[in-house]
Amino acid sequence: MMEETGDAAVAVAVQGLSKAYGGKKVVDDVSFTVHEGEFFGLLGPNGAGKTTTLEMIEGLRRSDSGSVSLLGSSPWPRNTALLTRIGVQLQSSAFFERLTAREQLSTFGALYGAGVGRTDELLALVGLTDHAGVREDKLSGGQRQRLSIACALVHDPEVLFLDEPTASLDPQARRNLWDVLRGIKEQGKTIVYTTHYIEEAERLCDRIAILDGGRVIAMDTPSELVSALGRPTSMELPVSVIGPDDVRGLPGVEEVTEEDGRVRFSAADPGPLMRALTERGIAGSLQIRAASLEDVFLELTGREYRS
């Protein structure tokens, strides 16, 4: 355990980390801190430098410059004392062939000297108790992903690293995995994970670093990132319900435009507006679109987010 210093102890501290390939910086002066127990996300489109950053923290790639402190130690040159304290999600190819989910876990457990009860505990944690006897190659994509996360947790590590665990899963399997990740966080683990799904990062992470072109372009809690934009809430009503001129007469309404049969507008203080709409009996037709992380990306980069 690390020493507490007022705030939660630091699990990962990255300072000025850079890496170039063929003269091109793919990770460019990246700095951030992850506290113990935090769910921290590296969010960015493909090629942003997420995997390179993660692997330098894990001690799998060497940085050109900058420093990483992982649980108080440097992960490079390879630090075997750290390996028992961190979990790195294995790719599916790292499964043993022809073993069931339970056998995979108990085999990994035996390698790490985990207790016998650990396998059942992990099967329950990742929601695979009912599939314990199913061979790994017969599991669905989402189930395999959950099994590989369980394998990374066999030795009860303090910090768990996951690289795009939800990529290529269907929406239902992604949601199941979110529940699993939340359960792991509830056990007090620190989670550092990457994703290119904006909405997912917004829902799961305590804090997010948005990476683009190897640089951290924003970092904060999801709600702070969005509220720092200072955008008024945007709303719309069908023209068939109320015309643009009438909308302009409503309290607190700004920036009224009409497009595709809908009146779009914003209101800095929606309270009086909602009362006026309710009095007219049209509040039920109102659609509200709050600013999102996608708007943050657009604002900071001037271009749309393409995962």
Burial classification of residue 26, based on how many CB atoms lie within 10 Å of its CB (0-12 exposed, 13-18 middle, 19 or more buried): middle
Per rule CB under 6 A, is residue 65 in the interface with ligand ADP?
no
Cβ proximity to Mg ion: between 158 and 200 the closer is 200
From 2-10, 43-51, 170-178, 285-293, give the range in contact with ligand ADP by CB under 6 A. 43-51
Among 2, 16, 46, 111, binds ligand ADP (CB under 6 A): 46
Per rule CB under 6 A, is residue 142 in the interface with ligand ADP?
no
Per rule CB under 5 A, is residue 51 in the interface with Mg ion?
yes
Contact 178, 145 (CB under 8 A): no
Helix extents (H) in 187-267 = 198-204, 222-227, 244-248
Among 9, 18, 33, 47, binds ligand ADP (CB under 6 A): 47
| Total of residues contacting ligand ADP (CB under 6 A) | 10
Question: How far is it, in rounded angstroms, from Cα 169 to Cα 218?
Answer: 27
Kindly report the number of other CB atoms within 10 A of residue 150's CB atom: 28
To ligand ADP, the closest distance from the beta carbon of 278 in angstroms equals 46
| Total of residues contacting Mg ion (CB under 5 A) | 2
Per rule CB under 6 A, is residue 109 in the interface with ligand ADP?
no
Among 10, 40, 44, 125, binds ligand ADP (CB under 6 A): 44
Cβ proximity to ligand ADP: between 48 and 126 the closer is 48
Cβ proximity to ligand ADP: between 105 and 209 the closer is 209
Per rule CB under 6 A, is residue 210 in the interface with ligand ADP?
no
Among 34, 52, 75, 180, binds ligand ADP (CB under 6 A): 52
Among 8, 26, 167, 286, binds ligand ADP (CB under 6 A): 26
Question: How far is it, in rounded angstroms, from Cα 69 to Cα 14?
Answer: 6
From 41-49, 88-96, 147-155, 220-228, give the range in contact with ligand ADP by CB under 6 A. 41-49
To ligand ADP, the closest distance from the beta carbon of 69 in angstroms equals 21
* CA–CA distances in Å: residue 75 to residues 13, 94, 180: 11, 22, 27
Beta sheet of 39-43, edge-to-edge order: 86-88, 159-163, 190-195, 39-43, 207-212, 215-220
Instruction: Please name the residue that has the structure tokens 């990132």.
Output: 225
Per rule CB under 6 A, is residue 48 in the interface with ligand ADP?
yes
From 45-53, 238-246, 247-255, 270-278, give the range in contact with ligand ADP by CB under 6 A. 45-53
Per rule CB under 6 A, is residue 167 in the interface with ligand ADP?
no
- Bridge partners (DSSP) of residue 264 are 236, 257
Q: Report the candidate in 300, 120, 98, 125 with the shortest Cα–Cα distance to residue 218.
A: 300
- Bridge partners (DSSP) of residue 210 are 43, 218
Instruction: Please name the residue that has the structure tokens 């992604």.
Output: 174
Question: How far is it, in rounded angstroms, from Cα 71 to Cα 242?
Answer: 59
Residues lying near Mg ion in the complex (CB under 5 A) are found at 50-51
Residues lying near ligand ADP in the complex (CB under 6 A) are found at 21, 26, 44, 46-52
